[in-house]
Amino acid sequence: MTKKGNLIVISGPSGAGKSTVVFKAVENRKDVCFSTSVTTRKPRAGEVDGKEYFFVDLERFQEMVDNDELLEHAEYVANSYGTPRAYVEKQLEAGLNVILDIEVQGARQVHEKMPEAVMVFIVPPSMDELKRRLEGRGTDTARAIEARLIRARQEYREADFYKYLIVNDDAEQAARELDAIITAEGCRFENRAAILQQA
Amino acid sequence: MTKKGNLIVISGPSGAGKSTVVFKAVENRKDVCFSTSVTTRKPRAGEVDGKEYFFVDLERFQEMVDNDELLEHAEYVANSYGTPRAYVEKQLEAGLNVILDIEVQGARQVHEKMPEAVMVFIVPPSMDELKRRLEGRGTDTARAIEARLIRARQEYREADFYKYLIVNDDAEQAARELDAIITAEGCRFENRAAILQQA
């Protein structure tokens, strides 16, 4: 049966272990792909248009914003990034679930533009554990870590529009939960009700 | 973390293979139990009160109906059957997911009294396949099978309030889907949001 996939939006504080959980969850699934963002940033050596990113100039980016061609967009270090709606829709129509890993503010934009998108928030078991993980990475100064913790608390307060919450205490368990969410959302009545009408 | 379980209501036409799917889905789960119905039917030899059923007299049953102590109730062959709300709530509070296998009309009553209950409709891949399965069981006359098919079509028309639809083409796959639904529903944001407030 050909049915539309779901857009799975994943957010969570830096250090929550999102990437690990996502990759474990989807590694054996053939019905999942990742969203490709559009950016005004210049391609780096080896980057291919349409693979890492869709590379566009600022004029084209602004046109996409004006024409509502982006599900969300944001600025980061003087460059613009966004999620092209048409590209996502094409994958969904092909029956693929599309994973979109973005921050809470972008996720809120997607939630408003595409209410059927499945919003998943991934958090560490506690703020103390988040601090330990960030310290363990050894990539941030103490001040940068403090800023990340403040930001995480801010995100928690804004996260009330998510549908699912995964606590990444054990990455295997968290990945099983994300895998289950993707499967369960594919079983939603409204996506399959056509089967009953054919009966 | 102690969290409330979910009531999982499962319906579907006779011959859809519900029991097989349910038992395969829950056989390795420790967080699932089955609801126990209350009935006015007399216990058969070996039946234990509180195990197969809670056995009550008609007066007590009527009192339970009047006091809204039942999530749903129905008559069947001159006996009354119902789902005791207090018993279900006790299991949910203990963190268990409770499975309730009932017909569409009873499921609608549960849906109205407990909107957070998770409604799952399980169907065979087609009416032709349902007919083949019912014939294969060899327990029904041709006329009884015809009546079951008419009833299945009727249930399909009334099933619009279910949240999930599982097509039991392959029982292993259907069981994986039900298992995923139970897991995913345990990850719902509102059930876990307390974790964020503690952060």
CATH number for the domain that contains residue B114: 3.40.50.300
- The parent domain of residue A84 ranges over 7-198
Q: Is residue A69 part of a domain?
A: yes
pLDDT tier, A60 (very low <50, low <70, confident <90, very high otherwise): very high
Query: Nearest CA to A162 among A122, A126, A125?
Result: A122
Q: What local confidence, expressed as pLDDT, does residue A56 receive? A: 97
Query: What is the DSSP annotation of A62-86?
Result: HHHHHTT-EEEEEEETTEEEEEEHH
Residue A1 has pLDDT above 60, yes or no: no
Q: Is residue A60 part of a domain?
A: yes
Q: Is residue B178 part of a domain?
A: yes
Do the Cβ atoms of B124 and B110 come closer than 8 Å? no
Query: What is the DSSP annotation of A118-181?
Result: EEEEEE-S-HHHHHHHHHHHT-S-HHHHHHHHHHHHHHHHHGGG-SEEEE-SSHHHHHHHHHHH
Q: How much is the CA Rg of chain B, to the nearest whole Å?
A: 18
Q: Is residue B130 part of a domain?
A: yes
- Record: contact A121-B153, CB cut-off 8 A: no
Residue A193 has pLDDT above 90, yes or no: no
Q: What local confidence, expressed as pLDDT, does residue B148 receive? A: 93
- Record: contact A193-B165, CB cut-off 8 A: yes
Q: In terms of residues, how long is chain A?
A: 199
Q: Which long-range contacts (CB under 8 A, 24 or more apart) does B59-68 make?
A: B64/B38, B68/B113
Residues 6+ apart with CB under 8 A from B88: B7, B35, B71, B98, B100
Q: Is residue A26 part of a domain?
A: yes
Which H helix or E strand runs over A55?
strand A53-55
- Record: contact B164-A177, CB cut-off 8 A: no
CA distance A11 to A108: 10
Any idea what the Cα angle at residue A178 is, between residues A172 and A184, rounded to 5°? 135
The contact set of A with B (CB < 8 A) is 1, 121, 123, 126-127, 152-153, 156, 159-160, 162-167, 176-177, 179-181, 183-189, 191-193, 195-196, 198-199
The Cα-based distances of A43 to A52, A73, A76, A88, B93 in angstroms read: 9, 18, 15, 21, 54
Q: Count other C-beta atoms under 10 Å from residue A24's C-beta.
A: 17
CB contacts of B199 in chain A (<8 Å) are: 123, 126-127, 152-153, 156
Q: Is residue B141 part of a domain?
A: yes
Query: Nearest CA to A8 among A123, A121, A113?
Result: A121
CA B78 from chain centre, in angstroms, equals 22
Residues 6+ apart with CB under 8 A from B171: B17, B20, B21, B24
CA distance A24 to A46: 26
Q: Is residue B144 part of a domain?
A: yes
Which H helix or E strand runs over B21?
helix B18-26
pLDDT in tens, A70-127: 999 999 888 999 999 999 999 999 999 999 999 999 999 999 999 999 999 999 999 9
- What SS3 string covers A169-195? CCHHHHHHHHHHHHHHHCCEHHHHCHH
pTM for the full predicted model? 0.94
Q: Is residue B134 part of a domain?
A: yes
Do the Cβ atoms of B179 and B29 come closer than 8 Å? yes
Q: How many domains does chain B have?
A: 1
Q: What local confidence, expressed as pLDDT, does residue A2 receive? A: 59
The alpha-carbon gap from A15 to the nearest alpha carbon of chain B, in Å, equals 15
Give the residue from B187, B190, B195 with the most A CB atoms within 10 Å of its CB, the best one to mutate: B187
Would the CA dihedral through B28, B32, B36, B37 be positive or negative?
A: negative
Two structure tokens written together for B109: 């009553």
Percent over 70 (pLDDT), chain A: 99
Q: What local confidence, expressed as pLDDT, does residue B80 receive? A: 96
Give the residue from A30, A149, A196, A197 with the most B CB atoms within 10 Å of its CB, the best one to mutate: A196
- Record: contact A162-B196, CB cut-off 8 A: no
SS3 of residue A40 by DSSP:
coil
State which residues of chain B have pLDDT below 50.
1
Residues 6+ apart with CB under 8 A from A75: A81
CA distance B89 to B5: 9
Burial degree of B49 (CB within 10 A; 0-12, 13-18, 19+): exposed
As a whole number, mean pLDDT of residues A168-192 equals 96
Q: What is the mean pLDDT of chain A?
A: 94
